[in-house]
Amino acid sequence: MKVLTALFCVMATVSCAGPDTSKRPEPRPQSAEVTAVDDQTEGTGDAGGGFFKSLRPVFRSPKVAQQQRQLAAGSVCGDPSIQGEAIGRIAAEMSGCGVENAVRITSVSGVRLNRKSTMDCGTAQALKTWVDSSAKPALSSKGGGLRELKVAADYACRRRNNAKTGKVSEHGKGRAIDISGFQMADGSQITVLQGWNAGSSSQVLRRMHAEACGTFGTVLGPKANRFHLDHFHFDTARYRSGSYCR
């Protein structure tokens, strides 16, 4: 009886203890469904991302993509909305003239210049700001909106008002542009000379002249003197007392 009891105890001990070499549970492999969810949520946040971000190029129109490439290829001054070409340094023809990093502009914010106009990037950027904030809004109800700027003068190595003596004009430094008129989408035109006192255009011309002050350092128009009866003179010279506008 004692032997039988001892045998039962030994068998019970072995059964309860289990094998020492039994394998521990291994981590369950991540399912494909969970991985897909993680992939979709990774990278989302303020910058936007995830699944739909990866598909944006698929949804983009080939025409839009081509237009973006063309804008980037023709842009200057680091801004796709300023179109033209970089021409580099313009040597001084006389003391005080010349431009270090000149550009030749053909359009700003989709508005053409009637001729290629040479200036520095600071002036090109100021022109773009004025077109966006003033010229386009002021002329939005005229003939389908602004299509083209009529440029009377851009870079030219000369003295102020084409005088034989005196200070070099800001035109001679690539920091000025003169605008003599505006062409609308329907082909109609407004000129500074004929429109400044005309009932149909006086208000918009005076608005554009006034709103250029600050964006440009100097703003001159028909009220300034006889040299500016037919155009607006804009330049980016800065003065301690602020912008000079007449």
CB atoms within 10 A of CB 10: 9
- What pLDDT digit, counting tens, does each position of 124-150 carry? 999 999 999 999 999 999 999 999 999
- What pLDDT digit, counting tens, does each position of 177-213 carry? 999 999 999 999 999 999 999 999 999 999 999 999 9
Length of the chain: 246
pLDDT at residue 60 in the model? 61
CATH number of the structural domain spanning residue 191? 3.30.1380
222, amino acid identity: P
Per the domain annotation, does 148 fall within a domain? yes
Per the domain annotation, does 107 fall within a domain? no
Task: With CA atoms as reference, report the closest residue to 183 among 145, 148, 228, 229.
Answer: 148
Crossing angle for the helix pair 50-59 and 32-41, to the nearest 10 degrees: 70
Per the domain annotation, does 89 fall within a domain? no
Q: Who wins on pLDDT, 198 or 93?
A: 198
**What share of the chain in percent tops pLDDT 90?**
66
Mean pLDDT score of the chain, rounded to an integer? 82
Tell me which of 14-18, 93-97, 109-113 is least confident.
Answer: 14-18
Per the domain annotation, does 32 fall within a domain? no
Question: Does the pLDDT of residue 76 top 80, yes or no?
Answer: yes
Per the domain annotation, does 100 fall within a domain? no
43-to-40, 47, 48, 57, 176 alpha-carbon distances in Å: 8, 8, 8, 17, 47
Q: What is the pTM of this model?
A: 0.72
Instruction: Identify the domain containing residue 207 by its residue range.
Output: 121-245
Tell me which of 38-52, 74-88, 199-213 is least confident.
Answer: 38-52
Per the domain annotation, does 46 fall within a domain? no
For the chain, how many structural domains are there in total? 1
pLDDT at residue 26 in the model? 54
Question: Does the pLDDT of residue 154 top 50, yes or no?
Answer: yes
78, amino acid identity: G
Question: Does the pLDDT of residue 85 top 80, yes or no?
Answer: yes
Per the domain annotation, does 201 fall within a domain? yes
Mean pLDDT over 87-93 rounds to: 94
Per the domain annotation, does 238 fall within a domain? yes
- What pLDDT digit, counting tens, does each position of 9-35 carry? 444 444 444 444 444 445 554 444 433
205, burial (CB in 10 Å: exposed 0-12, middle 13-18, buried 19+): buried
